[in-house]
Structure 1
Amino acid sequence: MNKFLLAVHVLAAIVAAGPVTVAASMFPPSVRKALAEPGDAQALSTVRVLHGICRVYATVGVAVPVFGFATAKNMGVLGDTWLIVSIALTTLAAVVLAALVLPRQTALMEGMGNIGNSGAGEAARRATGRLAMFTGLFNLLWATVTILMIVRPGSTTGA
Structure 2
Amino acid sequence: MTKFLLAVHVLAAIIAIGPITVAASMFPAMMRRALAVPPDPQAASWARLLHRICRVYAVAGVAVPVFGLATASSLGVLTDAWLLVSMALTVAAALLLTLVVLPHQAALTAGLDAPEPPAGRAIPRLAMVTGMFNLLWAVVTVLMIVRPGSTTGA
**TM-score, structure 1 normalization:** 0.92
Q: Distance in 2 between matches of 1:102 and 1:137?
A: 14
Report what 1:140 is aligned to.
135
1:149 corresponds to which of 125, 139, 144: 144
Q: Would you say how many aligned residue pairs link Structure 1 and Structure 2?
A: 154
Kindly state the Cα deviation for residue 37 of structure 1 after the two structures are TM-superposed: 5.0
1:126 corresponds to which of 121, 124, 130: 121
Report what 1:77 is aligned to.
77
Is 1:53 the counterpart of 2:48? The answer is no
Q: Distance in 1 between matches of 2:15 and 2:6?
A: 14
Q: CA-atom RMSD, angstroms?
A: 1.4
Partner letter of residue 135 of structure 1? Answer: T
Q: Distance in 1 between matches of 2:61 and 2:124?
A: 25
Q: Distance in 2 between matches of 1:142 and 1:65?
A: 12
Q: Distance in 2 between matches of 1:37 and 1:15?
A: 36
**TM-score, structure 2 normalization:** 0.95
Kindly state the Cα deviation for residue 38 of structure 1 after the two structures are TM-superposed: 5.5
Percentage of matched positions with identical amino acids:
67
Q: 1:102 to 1:38 in 2, by over 3 A?
A: farther
**What whole-Å deviation, never above 9, does each CA across 1:8-56 have from its counterpart, x for those lacking one?**
0000000000000000000000000111156543111100110000000
Q: Distance in 2 between matches of 1:151 and 1:79?
A: 16
Higher helix share: 1
Residue pair 2:33, 2:39 contacting (<8 A) in 1 also: no
Q: Distance in 1 between matches of 2:98 and 2:113?
A: 24
User: Where does the alignment leave 5 or more consecutive residues of structure 1 unmatched?
Assistant: none
Kindly state the Cα deviation for residue 141 of structure 1 after the two structures are TM-superposed: 0.4
Partner letter of residue 132 of structure 2? Answer: L
Report what 1:13 is aligned to.
13
Q: Distance in 2 between matches of 1:158 and 1:37?
A: 56
Kindly state the Cα deviation for residue 113 of structure 1 after the two structures are TM-superposed: 2.7
SS at match of 1:41: coil
User: Where does the alignment leave 5 or more consecutive residues of structure 2 unmatched?
Assistant: none
